[in-house]
Amino acid sequence: MRLITSVFRFGLVVALLAVSAGCGSESSFTILHFSDLHEQLHPVKRKIGNKDVEFGGVDRLIGGLKAARTAAGPGTLVLYAGDAIQGTPFSTFFKGEVTFGLLDGVIDYMVPGVHDFDYGQDNLNNLTGKSKFKVLSANIFNKDAKPFTGVDYVIKDIDGIKVGIFGLTMRITEILQSARNIEGLNFGPVEDAARAAVMAMRGQGVDFVIALTHQGIEEDKKLARAVDGINLIVGGLSHTVLTNGFLVFDTWIAQAGYRGEHFGKITVRYDKEKKRIISISPEIVNVTAEMPADAEVAKVVDKYSKELKSKLDVVVSKSDVLLEGSRNKVRGNETNLGNLLADILKRETGADMCIINSGVIRASINPGPVRVADVLNVLPYPNNVSTVRLTGKAIYRIIEKSAATNPGEGRFLQVSGGLQYKIKGRTLAELKFNGRDLDENRVYTVATSDFLADGGDNYPEFKQDRDPKNTGITMAEFMIEALKRMPTIAAGVEGRIVRLEG
């Protein structure tokens, strides 16, 4: 990946992408794009060779986008492919207020991401309702069958070129999201929605069609193969960095990673007389310390950072050990952090057992003082704790599915003390509760997240209880309060989940 190492070089690159009318009927325009910011306002460090290099920082990102837009001139589009919020304490406390406020006046069009619904439809509608940019969705519908965002596609004239843009959000958001957050919404088939949008826009004389998607690179490839008439797919969700795009038949796909570490630039050259695309040229711009930062954005970030710090620095406990929550460990094996969380939720709710999906755990906690910030890094999502009443037979089926998951899947389950399951290959070899087989006819009270209680991660068995009890308290809140009563944490791995050889 080409690293831009000076302000001068960055300025030169953006200048070369300026919109300019070519000889005769040739014209060109620029598309800038990014996605999956996840409320990551500060830079992150990445290892490049032997050096730690800072990437991202929303002040640099927006500064870079504004510089690129100025250089490119009128007609430049700035597209955002979803998931503006969720993933840092800024989201936990401010619920998107910071990021949506900063993006307003920067982006032109956005498609809803899976996590943009994390605080419910009302919160998302409130955020987007205050914004000048338009939110596009061709496959999310309200009960009245009208587009959830009110707009499925737009047509924009750029120097005599009719450009159409429509939005698509992955259909399995219905599985990945808590039911209460998307109640009354219908996520329609992506390909059907795309065909309808393309047909409608082409029928109005659109020259260039852009699908703005939040479904991941593999689904974008499928879309390109299945639907004719899409010239460009600008996508998000999978956090993929496509340095020079990806071509499927006649459709280019562009993605620019996540957390504001990069943004994408696409130059489109078009012959208006012949109604023909001459070229589509995607590239990636790295957002590093050399990127010109936006001073006003930096002030806003500083203001919210100071407000947040006072809330996050409170120490709630101390850990003698590393509490393991890394993705490659927790999504396939028992970990002490998974055990600690499951035990806390079981004890605090008075349930017989606790079963949680490992996907809720997003970080480890280092030995030493444990702050509110550490807990929120582990549990950034606003999942409430629920209790459900399930038969032993249903619980067996749930654990059987966990055993069958591929390593790395967030639907792999962590369990509280008393439960033990053994896996051979991808098969459940044994399941015990307090040393005995589960009674398939007995009804057990199970603590879990409201996400799983709603049947999320393809566990419909949790919905056997038609009247789950939602505590209205998040996992993070339960954990913070419980840790305040634990002066020292010494959680370990106890053999609750065992992988057998052979």
Q: What is 111-152 written as a DSSP string?
A: ---GGGGTT-HHHHHHHHHT-SSEE--SSEE-TTSSBTTS-S
Residue 339 is inside which H or E element, if any? helix 336-349
- pLDDT per residue of the chain (502 residues) written in tens, 0 to 9: 333 333 334 443 343 333 344 456 899 999 999 999 999 999 988 878 888 899 999 999 999 999 999 999 999 999 999 999 877 788 888 999 999 999 999 999 999 999 999 889 999 999 999 999 999 999 999 999 999 999 999 999 999 999 999 999 999 898 778 788 899 999 999 999 999 999 999 999 999 999 999 999 999 999 999 999 999 999 999 999 999 999 999 999 999 999 999 999 999 999 999 999 999 999 999 999 999 999 999 999 999 999 998 889 999 999 999 999 999 999 999 999 999 999 999 999 999 999 999 999 999 999 999 999 999 999 988 788 999 999 999 999 999 999 999 989 999 999 999 999 999 999 999 999 999 999 999 999 999 998 999 899 999 999 987 778 888 788 998 999 899 999 999 899 999 999 998 6
Q: What is the pLDDT of residue 416?
A: 98
Give 357's contacts (C-beta < 8 A, 6+ positions apart). Answer: 410, 411, 412, 413, 414, 449, 451, 452, 456, 457, 459
Q: What angle do CA 29, 33, 36 make, to 5 degrees?
A: 170
Q: What angle do CA 244, 248, 250 make, to 5 degrees?
A: 100
Is the dihedral angle over the CA atoms 257, 173, 324, 386 positive or is it negative?
positive
- Tokens linked to 430: 């044994």
Distances from the Cα of 214 to the Cα of 54, 133, 254, angstroms = 26, 17, 12
Q: What is the pLDDT of residue 19?
A: 39
Q: How many residues does the chain have?
A: 502
Q: What is the pLDDT of residue 50?
A: 84
CATH class of the structural domain 314-500: alpha beta
Gap between the Cα atoms of 465 and 454, Å rounded: 10
Concatenating the DSSP letter of every residue in 12-79 gives HHHHHT-----STTEEEEEEEEE---TT--SEEEEEETTEEEEEE-HHHHHHHHHHHHHHH-TT-EEE
Residue 148 Ramachandran class (φ > 0 left, ψ -120 to 50 alpha, else beta): alpha
> Locate tokens 């329609």: which residue?
188
The DSSP bridge partners found for residue 432 are: 420
Q: What is the pLDDT of residue 86?
A: 79
Q: What is the pLDDT of residue 502?
A: 67
Map out the domains of the chain as residue ranges: 7-305, 314-500
Q: Which of 280, 242, 281, 245 is nearest to 262 (CA)?
A: 242
Q: Domain 7-305 carries which CATH code? A: 3.60.21.10
User: What is the residue type of 314?
Assistant: V
- Tokens linked to 451: 């996400």
Helix/strand/coil percent split, the chain, to 5: 30, 30, 40
Give 219's contacts (C-beta < 8 A, 6+ positions apart). Answer: 170, 190, 213
Residue 257 Ramachandran class (φ > 0 left, ψ -120 to 50 alpha, else beta): left
Contact 83, 38 (CB under 8 A): yes
User: What is the residue type of 77?
Assistant: L
The separation between CA 391 and the C-alpha centre of its own chain, rounded to angstroms, equals 33
Q: What is the pLDDT of residue 11?
A: 45
Q: Which of 114, 104, 54, 55 is nearest to 83 (CA)?
A: 114
Q: What is the pLDDT of residue 102?
A: 97
Q: Whole-model pTM? A: 0.73
Q: What is the pLDDT of residue 16?
A: 38
Gap between the Cα atoms of 74 and 78, Å rounded: 12
User: What is the residue type of 139?
Assistant: N
Gap between the Cα atoms of 283 and 242, Å rounded: 8
